[in-house]
Amino acid sequence: MQAKEKNMLSDSALELDSARRLLEVIQGMLSQGLASLKASCTVEDKLDSELLDDYQFSSYQIAFSVAEIAAAKSFLHYCKESTENSYESAFALLFACDTLDNVMGRLKKIALDVGIELESLTTLENSAEYRNVLKHNRPSIISALGSLIINKKVDRLRSGLDDEKELVRDTFYRFSDEIVAPLAEKIHREDLDIPEQIIEAASELGCFGTCIPEKFGGLQPDNKSDSLGMIVVTEELSRGSLGAAGSLITRPEIAARALLAGGTESQQQFWLPKLASGKTLCAISITEPNTGSDVAAVSLKATPAEGGWILNGSKTWCTFAGRSELIVTLARTNPDISLGHKGLSMFLIEKPAFSGHKFEHHQVQGGKLSGKSIATLGYRGMHSFDLFFEDFFVSNEHLVGGNAGLGRGFYYTMAGFSGGRIQTAARATGLMQAAFEKAMSYSQERKVFEKSLGEFQLTQMKLARMLSTITACRQFSYAVADLLDRGKGQMEASLVKLFSCRAAEWLTREAMQIHGGMGYAEESAVSRYFVDARVLSIFEGAEEVLALKVVARELIETA
């Protein structure tokens, strides 16, 4: 290691504590703003939703600020195990500097609205500690980090995983390279179904059982949760293709969590082994045309009938509905709309597997379930469907939880989605890793004005920020996985999803930009990454709903 490089890394390590302190100071300001919002929007000791809606912009900015600070703190915490001259410290400090800069910018926009004095922000920015830390955000230092990438001294920071999880990561890394990647472009361009070649190979590796206990044939220990294993697998599958592999285990994971939360013993014994083995593929049907992310407003009608229920109505954005043999569906079993989410129950819908973009399933009783795929920019392979239930019969045995599950569907859905959000963050990280690898390789090979793209300062700075962002997202998701396995982390799962999905949009754009005209061509993988990334901030909780109705609201309530 050259002396200049060694000094830069040592200096970065020395400033990490200062970065931590500054983040804590800004977090204190955010807490002050949350307390002010709570006071402004509370009526008779209860948060008033209509008043809170008058502060949507401020709530949105605070939600993202809290998410980004949490990501930076996770990155800095991970660096505690680094050696003095490690690359991790330099990239962590870069991310912390960008976070300080970004959050301060947001706070300036909303300071007057949320009771934060602009003078306090100015004082912090002018402090010696703040200025000293921000020196490490200079173009010369960032480009020096990018030069390390271009010169192949660093392309992926250490994971911090133990040997067992590292072996899992390596196994699925090779699976993505050897099985998924060679098929990904054709699937995307021709909007094909995911080929059985990928599904069967994934089944053999056990990836459908990552969140299912061993006693049901899954990979998760019976006596504890292992969210980290699921994240590691999801990330590597998504690196191969978001649509053709990265989301394969999302639906069985949501279904399994819902069944474990509320399914009867016989339902668990019957369905979980089928899901774990991949012999039964499943879809999740929650969203409706007029409800979007408002789960409590679901209106698919379930009417009692002899031996079961009759379903009538429509659903939308049911991903993988055609190929799946099981659709986990939320329906309204109590017609009293005033009950809101308390009138919802969850059903297990069986159907044959269908290929292509539309299907019709006719029951002997006369009911029908039909589906038609929705044309999308990206995320192709799984296909998302509009569904139509016409007098469709579901037996009592397929009501999750049996009679005890009546009115509990919303809670089972939330149990499933808690893992879905962190898994979506892992999908974002895998997609970013793929885009970064392509951008790094292209910038090393492509010659412009008699120099490689990677020799230019701007390219180096892009690559450095890309790597710092990927690592922050990865370590944040690892930290949240640990919290979830200890029965905590519901808020953090929303934060990591919020931050990582937005980051994926930015990073895939940068990768596309580095490719120039070739990035816009469909023959380039980065064009696929770019359109695939766009869906991440929409599903598993649309960005605005997640920021306002979940993150900001809870932060304000607990301020």
Q: What is the dihedral of CA 467, 468, 472, 475, to 10 degrees?
A: 60
What is the b/e burial string over 165-191, where b = at least 16 CB atoms within 10 angstroms of the residue's CB?
Answer: beebbeebbebbeebbbebbbebbeee
Matching residue, tokens 């396995």: 485
Give me the helix-helix angle, 525-533 and 409-445, nearest 10°: 150
Residue count of the chain: 559
User: Are residues 257 and 418 in contact, defined by beta-carbon separation less than 8 angstroms?
Assistant: yes
Distance, CA of 228 to CA of 485 (rounded, Å): 9
Distance, CA of 331 to CA of 50 (rounded, Å): 28
Give me the helix-helix angle, 409-445 and 227-240, nearest 10°: 50
Instruction: Output the CA–CA distances (angstroms, integers) from residue 60 to 27, 409, 523, 547, in the order listed.
Output: 15, 29, 37, 6
Distance, CA of 555 to CA of 66 (rounded, Å): 9
User: Are residues 493 and 476 in contact, defined by beta-carbon separation less than 8 angstroms?
Assistant: no
Q: In the numeric block, which tokens belong to residue 447?
A: 């010659």
Distance, CA of 501 to CA of 270 (rounded, Å): 35
3-class SS at 278?
A: coil
DSSP for residue 524? S
Q: In the numeric block, which tokens belong to residue 516?
A: 């120039």
The catalytic site residues sit at 540
User: Are residues 235 and 474 in contact, defined by beta-carbon separation less than 8 angstroms?
Assistant: yes
User: Are residues 52 and 556 in contact, defined by beta-carbon separation less than 8 angstroms?
Assistant: yes
Q: In the numeric block, which tokens belong to residue 107?
A: 């706070």
